[in-house]
Structure 1
Amino acid sequence: MTARPRRWLVLALAPLVAVSMLIAPAAPASADPDDSKSATADDGEEDQLLNDVLDSTGRRFVAAKSAVAKSTKTQLALALRVKNAESRRDALLPEVSAVAAQQYRTGGISTMGFLLNTKGPESFLKMAVSLEEINALNDNKLHALYQAIDEVNTEKLHLDQEVKAQQQNLASMRKQKESAENALAKVGGDTVTGGFVLANSPKAAPAPRDSNGDFGPESCSVNDPTTSGCITPRTFHMYKEVKKANFKRFVGCHRNGGPFEHPKGRACDWSLQNSGFAPWHNQDTREYGNNLMAFLVRNADQLGILYVIWNRMIWFPATGWKTYHGPSNHTDHVHVSML
């Protein structure tokens, strides 16, 4: 092989050794979602129905999953480009090694020495052209290789960041979707509400507890604002919180005779009508019952609720929703009993 100029060799040797370390495959990106943040509805979802929130979160889940799949496909294509760049690098290394060996054997031939080692003007000109071509060829090869390696490294870095972000987004969407599904299940799902229930309810002020932090027994000591009877302080607190949450249609609490909580002042029946009781028969009455029930269930711990009955189903804090078989199917009112 014809000796290369020392200037090109010095510039070429060190970078080519170094780049073999720069383009080693990067470790796969992994999702690192922030588990400390629970998925909640956006501020703009306060008045949305819960099934609408489920639909939107589900769509975002699918979109995030699709984006991750697209990023993964792009990553495979990029890995092929890295492999091609490595092949081009490996093809160039023997030439550089040959140049280095030649330089070692000859002790280095200067450019002037290379050009003067001719037998005439015509030979000198040919060697000058050859030297220029050799330099241009090697410089172009190095430039192309460095450019490809820089491009691959940059794109791979961006892709790793993209995949990581999409995996985090996918985990977040999955968590949000599960949270919405759990929220729907808490208020009875489609069985009780048909999905026509607000995604969120107002927060009720907590009822007073005893020194142990429990809801201890209370007597029927407060005048019932709905009848001539009495109710417990905890029931009265619940009554005021429901009214404050804008559920202001007809309600009856104390009722004489019979078992369960009404005679004890620990229960109220919230009608769907402005007066009297009648089964839900349109979207307005059904949504009113659904949303009133959801308010009670979501605030059960704050208010000290024992159970809620609505639309043929009964809810206990410990067991969730069960089918209710009783004298009333509770399609005309929401029943709530207090501890």
Structure 2
Amino acid sequence: MGMSRHDEVERTYDVDRTTTLPTLTDTEGVSAMGQPTEVELVAVYFDTVDLDLARQGTTLRRRTGGLDEGWHLKLPAGKDTRTEVRLPLGRAVKTVPARLREQVRAVARDRPLVPVVRISTRRLEYKLVGDDAAVLAEVCDDQVHAERLNGREQVQDWREWEVELVDGARPLLDAVEQHLLTAGASPASSASKLARALGGAVPETPDRPSRKSLRRGSAAQLVQAHLAEQTAQLHRHDAGLRANRPDSIHKMRIAARRLRSALTTYRPLLVPNSAETVGAELRWLGQALGDARDAQVLREHLDLLVASEPPELVLGPVVKRIDDELRTAYQ
């Protein structure tokens, strides 16, 4: 089995150990709540020594146990949504597969990816079933044990509930959430199990200062936050490009142009020659993305033209030839 990719839509909740998971059959559209399936999961999370992936909200793990055991890369993809890239376990235990390394190269660069956290989870999984017998969502009751792997023993234990859509629509999340909050849960204080395990060890990206704070602050404060914001956008769209998300080339090209413009504007406040050096690299990146974007647009245009022609006039594998040649130019 090769690499697979899909978007997962889920919400997580903090909950006390003594709180009882409510029956959710009163939720609109839910006709049954299946009996729990118990599973033991062990995941080792990989990152750079400086936790560059965690800083971007990205997680990379090797997990055993459960039906989806394997290598899992999760990338931010919007509200309640992450794109998950999966690979089979394989033989490697301490070395991240090359295909996953490539997916995070924009953030990790060539820095080694090493084990940083081990998380063991005892999970009770319930399926929420609709009137047509389709599985709408899965509700997980997790007892979590996390251990930092930095040479010093740092252990945490907690319990959380997780709701992930299967065939259900997003409004189901809101409906289920009301029942969980009433039962005593609260929205998760951390974005993921890894984020909670790392706690304050994750480097924070500076927030954009408010107008009020800028009255007392310095120009450097504004510049730092603005450049950090633009750099994060560049990294985000790079991940989207590697994941073949629509419009990622165009969005990454815009992000590179905006970052380059910011460096030019704030050049007097930066370390001498730094803006010129990075600006030159961003100019090269913009040109490379421009060529790829041209090939992408041309391919879409030609596909539309071929589709508009009567079938009897389209002789041979025209569309395949267009796709093959322009996809090569795009890549």
Normalized against structure 1, the TM-score is what? 0.17
For the pair shown, which has the larger CA radius of gyration, 1 or 2?
1
Which structure has the highest strand share of the two? 2
Which structure has the highest helix share of the two? 1
Normalized against structure 2, the TM-score is what? 0.18
